[in-house]
Amino acid sequence: MKKLIAFTFVFAFFASFSAAQTLFSAKIYDGINFLPVNGANVYNLSSGKFSFSDKNGYFSIFASVSDTIVISKSIYRQNVVVLTEDILKKSNEVFFLYCRPVVLKEISVYGLNPNYEVFKRDVVTMNMPDYYDNLVSKPTKMDIQNAEYKNTAPNILRNTKIAHPITALYEAFSPKAKMKRLYNEMLQYEQELDNVQSKFNRELVSNLTGLKDDELLEFMVYCHFSYYDLIRSSREDIIKKIKSKFLEYEYFKALQDG
């Protein structure tokens, strides 16, 4: 009799647990261009189940209230969501992933001659990167300057643009210099990366335009703001751009309907 009661209790427990599990479905979009994200991994930390989004960003997974799901893909930041009863009841829930910015280090590419003798000469005369200087005992800049000042007066124009005008022009207008300035600017806006979502999201755009659901997402794709634009622009500037884009959008929609 005791075994029967214990079996009944265990069966009732698992039955109630299974009943609490529901098939939760939603879509995953890119948080910048609002296009569907294909192949995103959706992992339920609470149950160990996982799923993947299809080409339309759609996925389904068994889950229950208070489960934690992790949505991830290699080029995006992870999105961790704790499922509430309201989220599970929604039939059109949408999650957004935001690109994870990566700044690549500068690399040098050397063209080497296939002829062995020429190859040896090229390797011997090759200018190696600066970090190899630490491997060889060489005089420092201060040592060189001190040796120079023994015979001549200090050059007050040293390391100024006047002393090297050609170099100054190159550093001001060369593509490499522009990329370096862009890199430094991106570092300055690094703290703004987490604020992208507050500058351009469904609630904000819906309040400005009155659009809802699929038409809202269609307009946000039409806006086509770049990640860099959202980082460097203020919230007020983004709002102005949204209003301007909406006027264009209404005009083109009127042409299509007419």
Q: Is residue 195 part of a domain?
A: yes
Domain boundary among 159, 188, 217: 188
Q: Is residue 83 part of a domain?
A: yes
What pTM was estimated for this model as a whole?
0.53
pLDDT at 17 over 50: no
Within this chain, do residues 203 and 174 fall inside the same structural domain, yes or no?
no
Q: Residue 78: which of 21, 28, 27 has the closest Cα?
A: 28
Which residue carries 């039409």 as its tokens?
A: 222
Domain count, the chain: 3
Domain limits at 141? 116-188
Q: What is the pLDDT of residues 183-241, one digit of tens each?
A: 666 665 555 666 777 888 889 999 999 998 888 888 988 888 887 778 778 889 999 99
Within this chain, do residues 207 and 184 fall inside the same structural domain, yes or no?
no
Q: Is residue 107 part of a domain?
A: no
Query: In terms of residues, how long is the chain?
Result: 258
Residue 190, class by beta-carbon neighbours within 10 Å (0-12 exposed, 13-18 middle, 19+ buried)? exposed
Q: What is the pLDDT of residues 114-133, one digit of tens each?
A: 777 777 777 777 766 555 55
Give the angle subtended at the CA of 212 by the CAs of 211 and 218, to the nearest 5°: 75
Within this chain, do residues 24 and 85 fall inside the same structural domain, yes or no?
yes
Distance CA 28, CA 78 (A): 12
Task: Quote the strand ranges of 53-204, DSSP E.
Answer: 58-63, 68-72, 79-82, 94-97
Q: Give the domain CATH number at 66.
A: 2.60.40.1120
pLDDT value of position 182: 67
- For residue 163 the two structure tokens come to 């002393």
pLDDT value of position 169: 66
- Which whole number is the average pLDDT over 24-50? 91
